[in-house]
Chains A and B, each alone.
Chain A
Amino acid sequence: MPVVEFFVNVLSTPAILVGLVALLGLALQGKPVEDLIKGTLKTIVGFLVLSAGAGFLQTGSLLAFGEIFNFAFDMQGVVPNNEAVVSLALGEFGQATAIIMCVGMVLNIVLARFSRFNYIFLTGHHTLYMAAMLAIILHVGGLSGWMLYISGACLLALIMVLSPAYCQPTMRKVTGSDSVALGHFGGAGYWLAGMVGKLFASDRENSTENIKFSKRLIFLRDNTVSIGLTMIIMFLVITGVAVSRGLLTLVPAGTTAAEFVSNPQYAGLQHLGDLLNIGTETTTNWIVWAFTRGLSFAGGVYIILSGVRLIIGEIVPAFKGIAQKLVPGAKPAIDCPIAFTYAPNAVIIGFLSSFVGGILGLLILGVINAQIAAIALILPGVVPHFFCGATAGVFGNAEGGIKGCIAGSFVHGLLITFLPALCMPVFTLMGFTSATFSDADFSIMALIFGNVALNVQGAVLTGICVVCFCLPILFNLVAPKKAEEKKAE
């Protein structure tokens, strides 16, 4: 039946699928037709832009990065960048990601209504990234089709309320109210920073905000600038090492492009053709090459972010509107900059301290790799350390003043270096080798459910996911209601 084939094709085209999700959300809000057309088309364009960005990121930078890192250090170097890994994952898991995201948001409303975690997770790009990550790890467990969608959606909804819930005790101290929650999948890291901060609770009054601290590093809040800067430095260092190990003289001059491609000796260098000046008239200086490749990475992420912005720009307001109607008292869980205005000094101090933790973590990984066992090297990315490290700093400060801020975000920096390294075996299995998820909750979920998926497959795995989803609701029904009893008294 050609008609059935047509509809199957529509539903298996991820771009159209996310467009339909947006259409549904807009229609449920009763928007006029012109808004439906505008929103649906913009969402579809967003997905296509994202795919274009993924392609550019790969060919412009990431493939070359993997090869040259391998040549320079004989090991695997991994850039922790959510956008990079998600854009690659959407090629294979686009359909699953879109469905998991949509059903996951519906189940988030269910949990907010029927469990004690009454949070609505409004950070749409993190919902999208988590959906993609769950699609990858559950695929490792042999799930596909509706079993994959249900399992993924259950876990997604669970972390959408758990993450704000474990951040809330400290978040209350940050904002001084209980009306808003933190919705950012670095949650486990912030919780840990808060716990470490508590060790300095006696010094809590000695806040970061009482001192004068230069705000000049704030320019790193601009994503394009911070990614560009980090990747230029990484490319320069790695290319420099590769050049000093004789990369440029490896392929004899005069080798044609055809010879280069067909010679198995050069198999691991296929994306470095322009650096090695294969079949070109002009010669490229390696410093210029490293500089432009670093900025190409930033360019790729810029395109991807533009796509993501278009995708979630229509879906999040619809989700918020519907959730508010169905669960009127639910607390909105909002992206991490919400915490930044409460303690601007802690933002900068937290970033620096977390970044130092990341560098120390990298050195420790290097030693482990050389002495004990092969492990991936997680390079310190400025973006995760800035956004997550800064939030960890604000949390540490709220619990233990300036000492809590420094200690909390330092431990956070170590955490977001070690956790992704531990998760790499699962992602490598699926072919994601040179980029990975950066923020703590992604790693925690990948570590727990990735390992479950490696041991338990199929229907049992789906069962585990559904049970995990039901636990908070059962708990609400069975356990005595402490908070409400207190209110009643």
Chain B
Amino acid sequence: MAIQKILCCCGSGLGSSLMVEMQIQDVLNELGVSGVEVEHSTVSDVTPGAADLFIVARDLEDFIADIPEDEKIILSNILDKDEMKEKLSEKFGL
């Protein structure tokens, strides 16, 4: 299924998830992907179907254990653009 909505999550859904969202926007532009909605929120809002792709940092991995493997990305460093680029390209099949 084509990815149309990405949700980045952190504990309070205010700080680091917004950082990830901004980074994702940059990376998607660099990859030439457009028309994808990127949003950020708290891990409380993670439910299957709420987005096509969920992104969290490694320390919150357990929170999204219910989400199938191909619908999530776990980042070991939320500021590492190369890691993000590699994992996103894979999901988008680029």
Q: Taking beta carbons and an 8 Å cutoff, which residues of A are in contact with B?
A: 122-126, 180, 184, 215, 218-219, 221-225, 302, 305, 308-309, 312-313, 316-317, 320, 332, 334-338, 340-341, 344, 347, 387
Residue in A221, A224, A225 whose Cβ sees the most chain B Cβ within 10 Å: A221
B72 CB-CB contact with A under 8 Å? no
B24 CB → nearest A CB, Å: 12
CB closest residue in chain B, given A220: B11
Known: A221-B60, A320-B22, A344-B59. A337 touches B15 (CB 8 A): yes
CB closest residue in chain A, given B13: A309
A3 CB → nearest B CB, Å: 38
> Across the interface, do A338 and B78 meet the contact criterion of CB distance under 8 Å?
yes
B51 CB-CB contact with A under 8 Å? no
Known: A222-B44, A341-B77. A335 touches B15 (CB 8 A): yes
CB closest residue in chain A, given B77: A341
| 21 A-B residue pairings within 8 Å (CB atoms) | A123-B14, A124-B14, A124-B18, A215-B62, A218-B63, A221-B11, A223-B12, A223-B13, A312-B14, A313-B40, A316-B22, A317-B22, A320-B22, A332-B19, A335-B10, A335-B19, A338-B79, A341-B58, A341-B59, A344-B59, A387-B12
| Chain B residues whose C-beta falls within 8 Å of the C-beta of A308 in the assembled complex | 14
CB closest residue in chain A, given B41: A309
| Chain A residues whose C-beta falls within 8 Å of the C-beta of B14 in the assembled complex | 123-125, 305, 308-309, 312, 335
> Across the interface, do A337 and B11 meet the contact criterion of CB distance under 8 Å?
yes
> Across the interface, do A337 and B16 meet the contact criterion of CB distance under 8 Å?
yes
A312 CB → nearest B CB, Å: 7
> Across the interface, do A347 and B18 meet the contact criterion of CB distance under 8 Å?
no
Residue in B13, B19, B78 whose Cβ sees the most chain A Cβ within 10 Å: B19
> Across the interface, do B62 and A218 meet the contact criterion of CB distance under 8 Å?
yes
Give the size of the chain B interface in residues (CB under 8 angstroms): 25
| Chain A residues whose C-beta falls within 8 Å of the C-beta of B47 in the assembled complex | none
Secondary structure class of chain A's binding surface, majority of residues: helix
**Alpha-carbon separation in the docked complex, A278 to B15 (Å):** 44
> Across the interface, do B59 and A334 meet the contact criterion of CB distance under 8 Å?
no
| Chain A residues whose C-beta falls within 8 Å of the C-beta of B76 in the assembled complex | 341
**Alpha-carbon separation in the docked complex, A225 to B45 (Å):** 12
B43 CB-CB contact with A under 8 Å? yes
- Indicate which residue in A184, A222, A313, A340 contacts B18 across the interface (CB closer than 8 Å): A313
> Across the interface, do A334 and B43 meet the contact criterion of CB distance under 8 Å?
no
Interface string of B1-40 (1 = CB under 8 A from A): 0000000001111111011001000000000000000001
A171 CB → nearest B CB, Å: 13
Q: Taking beta carbons and an 8 Å cutoff, which residues of B are in contact with A?
A: 10-16, 18-19, 22, 40-44, 57-60, 62-63, 76-79
B2 CB → nearest A CB, Å: 22
8 shortest A-B CB distances, which residue pairs? A335-B15, A221-B11, A337-B16, A125-B14, A340-B59, A335-B16, A123-B15, A223-B12
Secondary structure class of chain B's binding surface, majority of residues: mixed
**Alpha-carbon separation in the docked complex, A115 to B35 (Å):** 41
**Alpha-carbon separation in the docked complex, A122 to B16 (Å):** 9
Other A-B contacts than A309-B41, A341-B57, 10 sampled, CB-CB below 8 A, are A124-B14, A125-B12, A180-B79, A218-B62, A224-B44, A309-B13, A312-B14, A337-B59, A344-B58, A347-B59
**Alpha-carbon separation in the docked complex, A338 to B10 (Å):** 10
Residue in B10, B13, B57 whose Cβ sees the most chain A Cβ within 10 Å: B13
Known: A222-B63, A341-B78. A309 touches B40 (CB 8 A): yes
- Indicate which residue in B22, B42, B59 contacts A223 across the interface (CB closer than 8 Å): B42
| Chain A residues whose C-beta falls within 8 Å of the C-beta of B63 in the assembled complex | 218-219, 221-222
| Chain B residues whose C-beta falls within 8 Å of the C-beta of A126 in the assembled complex | 15
| Chain A residues whose C-beta falls within 8 Å of the C-beta of B16 in the assembled complex | 334-335, 337-338
| Chain A residues whose C-beta falls within 8 Å of the C-beta of B60 in the assembled complex | 218, 221
**Alpha-carbon separation in the docked complex, A335 to B12 (Å):** 11
> Across the interface, do A222 and B15 meet the contact criterion of CB distance under 8 Å?
no
A216 CB → nearest B CB, Å: 9
B70 CB → nearest A CB, Å: 23
CB closest residue in chain A, given B79: A180
| Chain B residues whose C-beta falls within 8 Å of the C-beta of A387 in the assembled complex | 11-12
CB closest residue in chain A, given B62: A218
| Chain A residues whose C-beta falls within 8 Å of the C-beta of B10 in the assembled complex | 335, 337
A323 CB → nearest B CB, Å: 12
**Alpha-carbon separation in the docked complex, A75 to B13 (Å):** 35
- Indicate which residue in B19, B43, B57, B78 contacts A222 across the interface (CB closer than 8 Å): B43
> Across the interface, do B12 and A312 meet the contact criterion of CB distance under 8 Å?
no
Residue in A222, A224, A320, A387 whose Cβ sees the most chain B Cβ within 10 Å: A222
A458 CB → nearest B CB, Å: 35
A245 CB → nearest B CB, Å: 36
CB closest residue in chain B, given A126: B15
| Chain B residues whose C-beta falls within 8 Å of the C-beta of A124 in the assembled complex | 14-15, 18
Known: A312-B14, A341-B57, A344-B59. A221 touches B43 (CB 8 A): yes
B72 CB → nearest A CB, Å: 16
> Across the interface, do A305 and B40 meet the contact criterion of CB distance under 8 Å?
no
> Across the interface, do A122 and B19 meet the contact criterion of CB distance under 8 Å?
yes
